[in-house]
Structure 1
Amino acid sequence: MTSNSGPSLRERALGYLARREHSRQELARKLAAYTEDEDEIAAVLDDFQKRGWLSDERFSEQVVQSRKGRYGSLKVAHELRQKGISDSLTEKAVAMMVQDELETARAVWQKKFGEAPRSREEWAKQARFLQGRGFGFDTIKRVLKSDPDEL
């Protein structure tokens, strides 16, 4: 379905990759808007992978680097799965984040709240915020330095 009226599928793919890293699934979805020929899309993506221009591993590393200071490993893992990254690459990316997760959670919490919760309601509010940012319950309990039942 490639026509003379616009850039070729290959040129479009290069344009997307020139702006930022993409996962294979994400780039395939974007290219599908321009052709119904799945074999043509697969051929372009295979060629790009062979040349090293398209890499799910590099994409997952880039996502980790850009999200590391603001989000927890659970949120990043979910995002990577949504973008079609394999479980093994997702686990590798999460392992990179887990080392600093408590420190990151404390920094995110400090910026938003700055003081320990004084009631169960405040504790729940702060915990929901951290949970929404992708931090696990064990990390949340350590950041808030208490259990809600102690309040």
Structure 2
Amino acid sequence: MRITAVEKTKKGRYAVFLDNVFAFSADAETTALCHLTVGRELSEDDCEQVKRQAETKYLKERALRLLSFKSFSKAELVKRLAEYTDDRSDDAALEVVERLEELGLINDKEYAARVARDYYARKGYGERRVMQELIRRGITRELAEEAAQANAPEAESALDKIIERRYAKYLTDPKGIRKTIQALARLGYPYDEIKAAISRYTDEDLYEQA
């Protein structure tokens, strides 16, 4: 296969055409280092190697850019980078992310702990809900459970704060109590802890009617 054209794109990359058909794009550095010039002959192996090199460099740049804006779990970043690959495969993305993990730029344990603390403080979630959210973000069940437990505030204090801030005004009748129980359950708190917390704010007979 022969390189018949190398054209600079609007994004600053270079589109490489083999036998007058677009084959792949590469950054300026890869284009220069691999001598991608018109007239050069490339074997299929050469072509695949250059494409892989260009894709890896591009994905690494995308990953670093994404990480400069926010944190990601390993699984989240792999999924996001796969969107930028030609075949939307996880293979090339996983290779890049694992390298970033080796460099300490991706750390699921630290990420899980940070997200858990945020959910407890900002959302008022219970331990079960925090664990569910971490798993949804691609954290393993074992690590999610560890982070949820290690960063959980004292349950009684957390529930009291939520009730005082959001639900105390509803604890004057059975209907309001039922809605509060349902809301706290959705936040991930166990029923026995919810019952104990609400009983500190309302009459036990009224609670039993709910």
Normalised by the length of structure 2, the TM-score is 0.64
Contact 1:23 1:55 in 2 (8 A): yes
CA shift at 1:28, angstroms?
Answer: 1.0
Secondary structure at the residue paired with 1:3?
Answer: strand
Which amino acid is 1:119 matched to?
Answer: D
The aligned residue for residue 64 of structure 1 is 116
Q: Deviations over 1:52-98 (max 9, x none)?
A: 11011011011012111221111111111111211221111121244
Which residue of the partner structure matches residue 148 of structure 2? 94
Task: From 53, 59, 71, give the equivalent of 1:21.
Answer: 71
Q: Which has the larger radius of gyration?
A: 2
In structure 2, the CA distance between the partners of 1:141 and 1:100, relative to structure 1 (3 Å rule), is: same
How high is the sequence identity, in percent, across the aligned residues?
24
CA deviation after TM superposition for structure 1 residue 4, in Å? 4.1
Offset at 1:119? 2.6
Does residue 10 of the first structure (1) align with residue 60 of the second (2)? yes
Structure 2 alignment gaps of length 5 or more: 1-22, 28-56
Indicate the RMSD between aligned Cα atoms, in angstroms.
2.3
The answer on 1:47 being equivalent to 2:86 is no
In the alignment, which residue of structure 1 is the partner of 2:49?
Answer: none
Q: Which structure would you say has the larger RCO, counting Cα contacts within 8 Å and 6 or more residues apart?
A: 1
Shift of 1:134: 2.0
Between 137-146 and 45-54, the greater mean CA deviation after superposition: 137-146
Deviation at 1:101, TM superposition (A): 2.3
Deviates more, 1:85-94 or 1:139-148: 139-148
The 10-residue stretch of structure 1 (114-123 or 21-30) with the greater mean CA deviation from structure 2: 114-123
Alpha-carbon distance in structure 2 between the residues aligned to 1:53 and 1:137: 39
Look up the SS of the partner of 2:102 in the other structure: helix
The residue identity in structure 2 corresponding to 1:95 is Q
Q: Residue 139 of structure 1 aligns with which residue?
A: 193
User: When the two structures are aligned, how many residues end up with a matched partner?
Assistant: 150
2:84 is the counterpart of 1:34: yes
Q: What letter matches 1:39 in structure 2?
A: D
Q: Partners of 2:68 and 2:83 in 1: how far apart?
A: 19
Q: SS state of the match for residue 68, structure 1? A: helix
Give the Cα–Cα distance (whole angstroms) in 2 for the partners of residues 2 and 111 of structure 1: 57
TM-score of the superposition, structure 1-length normalised?
Answer: 0.86
Residue 168 (structure 2) pairs with residue 114 (structure 1): yes
